């Protein structure tokens, strides 16, 4: 019952240390190479680099849209390739140094195209969503950093259960809409739909606490250096989810004006 993020469920986060042993005279000597292990600062640095790459990718489809070109191929393609890279990294975390930057770029193509669509419908919406995501991240990080919010087993259980419930609800609604004339309750701009979006945003924000906790624990266990990329990629997934949900919520509110 750790973070719902599939990256942080990976068995790589259960390793304890990297070490070499010497069994001379039946005494095991353990030496940890701290220059080649995961650190919180290293994960932060890689997260910032991934953010830069994501913004660069987003700028491509964003500029295409407002230059009169159709960005849908790159937008949809970016989403699909990004998802594939996530799946590969989940099973092969040792390749995260290559997969994480690639994910940031392709997911950026998706985010840029999606943002441009919302911006064309509701001018000024994107900057509001970006600001809301940034503020939410800073607040959650501060609450975690100063131990105001502590990640306990019960906290994990509640957040994971809520996240799985949301995923199941979205999946079932999508499947029903494919086969029958079904209008999901979270679509539209009704007060119930807005309330559901607000609830989803709260759950996405709570997932940030689980991500922070797993990154910190990974550094404490001296996991391999590549896990910094792995952790940064997982954190980026949560931030992208949070941003998309803010776009949805703000668009619903704007459509009521």
Q: Give me the tens of pLDDT residue by residue for the chain, a chain 257 residues long.
A: 344 454 555 445 554 444 443 444 444 444 444 468 999 999 999 999 999 999 999 999 999 998 889 889 999 999 999 999 999 999 999 999 999 999 999 999 999 999 999 999 999 999 999 999 999 999 999 999 999 999 999 999 999 999 999 988 888 877 877 777 666 666 777 888 899 999 999 999 999 999 999 999 999 998 999 999 999 999 999 999 999 999 999 999 998 76
Distance, CA of 40 to CA of 164 (rounded, Å): 27
* pLDDT of res. 245: 95
Nearest Cα residue to 225 out of 15, 51, 84: 15
DSSP state at residue 37: B
**Per-residue model confidence (pLDDT) at position 41:** 93
* Predicted pLDDT of residue 237: 94
Q: What is the pLDDT of residue 35?
A: 60
**Helix boundaries (H) for 122-226:** 125-145, 153-179, 191-220
pLDDT computed for residue 182 by the predictor:
62
- Reading the block at residue 180, the tokens are 């029958």
pLDDT of residue 177: 72
Region of 185 please: left (phi>0), alpha (psi -120 to 50) or beta. alpha
pLDDT for 19: 40
At residue 21, the pLDDT reads 39
Q: How far apart are alpha carbons 252 and 194 in whole angstroms?
A: 7
């Amino acid at each position: 019952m750790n973070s719902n993020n599939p990256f942080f469920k990976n068995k790589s986060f259960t390793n304890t240390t990297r070490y070499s042993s010497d069994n001379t005279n039946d005494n095991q000597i353990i030496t940890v190479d701290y220059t080649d292990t995961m650190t919180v600062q290293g994960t932060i640095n890689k997260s910032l680099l991934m953010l830069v790459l994501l913004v660069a990718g987003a700028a491509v489809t964003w500029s295409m849209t407002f230059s009169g070109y159709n960005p849908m191929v790159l937008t949809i393609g970016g989403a699909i390739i990004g998802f594939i890279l996530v799946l590969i990294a989940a099973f092969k975390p040792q390749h995260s140094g290559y997969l994480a930057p690639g994910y940031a770029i392709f997911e950026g193509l998706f985010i840029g195209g999606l943002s441009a669509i919302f911006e064309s419908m509701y001018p000024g919406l994107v900057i509001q969503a970006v600001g809301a995501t940034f503020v939410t991240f800073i607040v959650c990080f501060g609450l975690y950093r100063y131990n105001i919010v502590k990640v306990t087993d019960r906290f994990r259980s509640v957040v994971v259960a809520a996240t799985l419930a949301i995923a199941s609800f979205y999946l079932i609604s999508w499947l029903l809409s494919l086969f029958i004339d079904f209008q999901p309750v979270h679509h539209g701009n009704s007060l119930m739909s807005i309330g559901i979006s607000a609830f989803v945003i709260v759950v996405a924000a709570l997932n940030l606490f689980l991500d922070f906790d797993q990154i910190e624990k990974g550094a404490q266990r001296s996991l391999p250096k590549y896990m910094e990329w792995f952790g940064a990629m997982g954190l980026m997934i949560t931030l992208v989810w949070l941003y998309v949900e803010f776009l949805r919520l703000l668009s619903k509110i704007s459509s009521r004006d």
